[in-house]
Amino acid sequence: MIAQPEFTEMSVKPGSFSRIGFGARGIGMGNAVSSITEGELVSYYNPAITPFQENNSFQAGYSFLTLDRSLNFLSYTRKFDFYSTKDTVTENRKPKTTAGLSIGVINSGVRKIDGRDNNGLPTGELSTSENQFFMGLAARISEKISIGLSIKFFYYSLYEEISANSMGFDVGALYRINDNFNVSLVVADINSKYKWDTAPVYEQNGIVSEDKFPNLRKVGISYRNKEIGILGSIEFENSNAETNILRAGIEYNIYDQFFIRGGVDQFNVNNTDWPVKPALGFSFFKAFNTLVVGVDYAFQLEQYSSSDRHIVSVNFNF
């Protein structure tokens, strides 16, 4: 006899595409990167980390998925140093304030859906498109503390004239305990929701409904040992949808500009039937004068699919 897996409310919540992760590096580390301030950064995980970005970072990612699904990423992050007008030092001066900006998009969808009418006759192929556009702003208010806010716009094209859009927010903070340890706090998807109106298709029988995204609260801690090239992190996420998630990741600078990593995401301490998602990945970077080009790859297990996830990202740091 096979027991029925325990149900979790998160399974039916909207916006699941936006909770998969962002890019090959983050997914390869189990998405436990809200407290990491090294490498290519994006406000998706924590808007407060962007003031730690070195130079300009542009990222683009593509996912290889089964069942005619798509998942793509695009982002740009940079920091801005502001100096005091009263500062007369010309060399090695420290900025009075450092701000961070991160903009990006996540695109997801399903193609080649077999459309049928009420008589079962083919009407042509259908497709869906679900998108998140975000902009994160942050500031280091001291040497140790950074705070940030992300504004997120969602647009979901579901069927013909039926679509939904909304605006949500993330707030985050990061505290640098010392050169090795960071601690992060994030509250994500404040006010995120889809509001539907089916009147364009069903006319007087149409209804107006609202689907709220789950609200996520995260706390993370990371450790970096620059001498041996190790970066590790753990994260705990609580939601209002019956989940308490643990995730962890580790990255090792194995040689020069070559990194390997691994992680575990979606370990739900409330429900061990919830599918855990382990991941592995690597990165390689090559400098061309002032331009540094990087390639990231991640493999993530996907239990309810005929094949697993493969994510490839390219990075340009300039």
pLDDT in tens, 8-60: 888 889 999 999 999 999 999 999 999 999 999 999 999 999 999 999 999 99
Give whole-number Cα distances, 78 to 55, 244, 278, in Å. 6, 32, 30
In which band, very low, low, confident or very high, does the pLDDT at 303 lie, cut at 50, 70 and 90?
A: confident
pLDDT at 87: 63
Question: What does R_g of the chain's alpha carbons equal in angstroms?
Answer: 21
For the stretch 198-210, pLDDT in tens is 888 888 888 888 9
Give whole-number Cα distances, 125 to 110, 115, 117, 159, 182, in Å. 11, 5, 12, 11, 49
The mean pLDDT value for 154-166 works out to 90
pLDDT at 92: 67
Span of 75-89, 252-266, 303-317 with lowest mean pLDDT: 75-89
Span of 87-96, 161-170, 235-244 with lowest mean pLDDT: 87-96
pLDDT at 2: 55
- How many angstroms separate the CA atoms of 254 and 54, rounded? 21
In which band, very low, low, confident or very high, does the pLDDT at 5 lie, cut at 50, 70 and 90?
A: low
pLDDT at 232: 96
Mean pLDDT of the chain: 91
pLDDT at 212 over 90: yes
- How many angstroms separate the CA atoms of 286 and 118, rounded? 57
pLDDT at 261 over 80: yes
- Look at the pTM and tell me if it is higher than 0.95: no
Domains and CATH numbers, the chain: 9-81+97-114+129-317 (2.40.160.60)
In which band, very low, low, confident or very high, does the pLDDT at 1 lie, cut at 50, 70 and 90?
A: very low
